Chain A
Amino acid sequence: MRQKHVAVIARVVVLFCSFLLSMEEVSSQSSSSISAARTPNETPDFNGIWQALGNNYWNVEPHAASPGIVRGLGALGAVPGGLGVVDGGVIPYRSEALVRRNDNFSNRLTRDPAIKCYLPGVPRATYMPFPLQIIQGQSHIMILHEFAGAVRTIYMTDQTEAPASSWMGWSNGRWEGETLVIETTGFNGMTWFDRAGNYHSDQLRVVERLTARSPERLSYEVKIEDPIVFTRPWKMSMPLYRRAESNAELLEFRCVEFVEDLIYGHLRKDQSR
């Protein structure tokens, strides 16, 4: 009988201590990484469904709330404010590039490629308001996006240069301790970083660093290099949160049929339809 009590008390003490320890990890600065669970390949295990929070997909720079550009959507089409995710505050555009960015912003309703269900590019796909799924295989890591069914193949072996340019780029990855480092090039220069016209050229090079901060959270840091558009490399960072629902699953967002009228409507023979 006494042994049973001791066993129960011991268990409670152990649980309490590990709770304290985990609290300490969570409340500590995000710069401290944890030793993530391991895959059978002995690499950190980032498998699962993740999603960014916040309003970066509207505008990665700090911004106040503002009216939307589709009047009929009222408050639901308005832009929420955001503290920004760019290191140093604003993106270091070249002066002529800034003019173009501002022009993009003024014309975003007709120019934003994501409106037409075009593949969103990197890193925009990561922080769109849609989940993504990481599947780690033996030689490739797949990053699969719900938006437009965008696919990223991360080559962990047999690495080559991009054979041709593409919307989602060409990604080579490696592990640096607890961090997954992904270098992506071969962009076609036709994607944006957000809905506010922040853009890049086909000389874009992206380096992403993913590190587990807890079993439920990854830190996501992105370095952007594009000497044609920016005066220097710059960085963004934000957390990615695990979608904890037990039935979490990427659904189809096959948006091509949602935009056909937008793209081809003016070429319809019978304009009354």
Chain B
Amino acid sequence: MYLLGNVLVVGLVVGGVSPKSAAAQSAGRIEQLSGTTTPEYVVPRTPDGVPDLEGFWTNQTYTPLERPSEVNKAFYTVEEAAEIEEGRFEREVAQTSPGTIPDVHYDFTQFGLDRSQSTFARSLRTSLIVDPPTGRLPPLNTIGLERARKVMEERERIGGRWDAAENNQLDDRCIIMRGAGPPMLNAGYNANYHIVQNADYVMILVEMIHDARIIPLDGRRYPSGRVRHWMGLPRGYWEGDSLVVETANFNGKNPLEGSSDQLRVIERFTRVSDDTILYKFTVADPDTWDRSWTAEMSMKKTIGPLFEHACHEGNYGLYNTLVGARLEDRKADEEDGLQGPEE
């Protein structure tokens, strides 16, 4: 596993958080981000003397994790980025057509859940992944491919999605959201975090599903390999003005990109302006990829609260769908019964 270290990472971030008229906004101010803070910015400090990361933040963005297949460069031009953003914006708020599958859903815009109505970070990057230089995940290695194959076999064995609750995705089961991480990737909506810190701990509350990452800063070791978590166990320390968090002891069930229990994540949080934390992370997993990969994104200051996302408690959707599926099974059985067995 290796880090990009102190290589100057140039990320061009288009400033401003207003979601309207992307083209107009893109022509606005552009911040140049480096791997360290810009010389003029004086990061505020907590009474303990470390950089103050407290507050409500969001890493919502239109930038995908991986570079789209038709794109072969690391940065869009300002015009290209504005056009793409405008297109995504329009698609999000476009009304669905009655009688189509996308129409069988509440309208995100009525609940403020579309990206275009949120605070979000804007970037000229074509991908969040900055290494490999392709901007894409490394290919799965032999172990990773074998594990993926076994997962597919298991899926076939357990039957259809509505045959049992546990046949569903982890987020539909309200166990863990796909981007909860670490690394913490932006969910489709409610991509918000609450950071509270003291001398000995930094707590990062991930909105969905009220996951509080409690990061000790005292240099303690990881527990026994028998203690494994969905989100691993984090250990943090300050390196200059950056908070570094190293997470291990994953249980292999974290939904990150088919990872295993050998997953290790190193995250770096650096406050580069009053409204921005640069969030950079390196992911390594020798049982999934033969090399690590690194991505970078901005966390922008947003407003709270992070209202209690009691997902499991309110998960009537999964329950009702299973009830409906069994009803349909019974109806189909009855129809078969009426038609009689094949002679």
Contact = CB atoms under 8 A, between A and B. Distances in A.
Interface in A90-129: 117-119
A135 interface: yes
Interface stretch (B98-106, B143-151, B169-177): B169-177
A153 B326 contact: no
A257 B173 contact: yes
A260 B176 CA distance: 14
Interface stretch (B67-75, B134-142, B237-245, B315-323): B315-323
B231 interface: yes
A163 B46 contact: no
Given A119-B310, A164-B307, A256-B174, A269 B325 contact: yes
B43 interface: no
A86 interface: no
A137 B199 CA distance: 9
A135 B230 contact: no
Contacts of A164: 307
A3 interface: no
B275 interface: no
A68 to B, nearest CB: 25
Contacts of B31: none
Interface string A195-230: 000000000000000000000000000000000000
A142 B54 contact: no
Contact of B203 (A40, A144, A251): A144
A257 B175 contact: yes
Interface stretch (B78-86, B113-121, B181-189, B212-220): B212-220
A100 B229 CA distance: 39
A138 B165 contact: no
Contact of A118 (B199, B305, B313, B326): B313
A270 interface: yes
Contacts of A168: 308
Given A117-B312, A118-B312, A249-B223, A270 B54 contact: no
Contacts of A268: 163-165
Contact of B322 (A119, A256, A267): A267
Interface string B164-208: 111000000111100000000000000000101111110101000
A211 B158 CA distance: 53
Contact of B231 (A139, A252, A263, A273): A252
A191 B46 CA distance: 37
B210 interface: yes
A270 B200 CA distance: 50
A139 to B, nearest CB: 7
Interface residues of A, number: 42
Contacts of A252: 229-231
Contacts of B198: 39, 47, 135-137
Nearest to B200: A47
A247 interface: yes
A40 B223 contact: no
A267 B319 contact: yes
Question: Chain B CB within 10 Å — which of A151, A164, A267, A273 has the most?
Answer: A267
Interface residues of B, number: 51
A29 interface: no
Nearest to A167: B310
A119 B209 CA distance: 12
Interface in B10-43: none
A254 interface: yes
Contacts of B199: 40
B329 A247 contact: no
Interface in A141-164: 142, 144, 149-151, 153, 163-164
Contact of A166 (B47, B230, B233, B310): B310
A270 B223 contact: no
B154 interface: no
A104 to B, nearest CB: 18
B1 to A, nearest CB: 24
A251 B205 CA distance: 15
A139 B223 CA distance: 31
B47 A40 contact: yes
B326 A267 contact: yes
Contact of B175 (A119, A166, A256): A256
Nearest to A269: B163
B212 A149 contact: yes
A135 B201 contact: yes
Contact of A267 (B47, B174, B176, B323): B323
Contacts of A256: 173-175, 312
Interface of A: 39-41, 47, 117-119, 133, 135-140, 142, 144, 149-151, 153, 163-164, 166-168, 190, 247, 249-252, 254, 256-257, 260, 263-264, 267-270, 273
Given A40-B46, A153-B306, 15 more contacts: A39-B47, A40-B199, A47-B200, A47-B201, A118-B313, A119-B313, A138-B52, A138-B54, A149-B210, A257-B175, A264-B166, A267-B165, A267-B326, A269-B162, A270-B163
12 contacts: A135-B196, A135-B214, A153-B306, A167-B310, A167-B313, A168-B308, A257-B166, A264-B164, A267-B319, A269-B162, A269-B163, A269-B326
Interface of B: 46-48, 52, 54, 159-160, 162-166, 173-176, 194, 196-201, 203, 205, 210-212, 214, 216, 220, 223, 227, 229-231, 233, 305-308, 310, 312-313, 318-319, 322-323, 325-326, 329
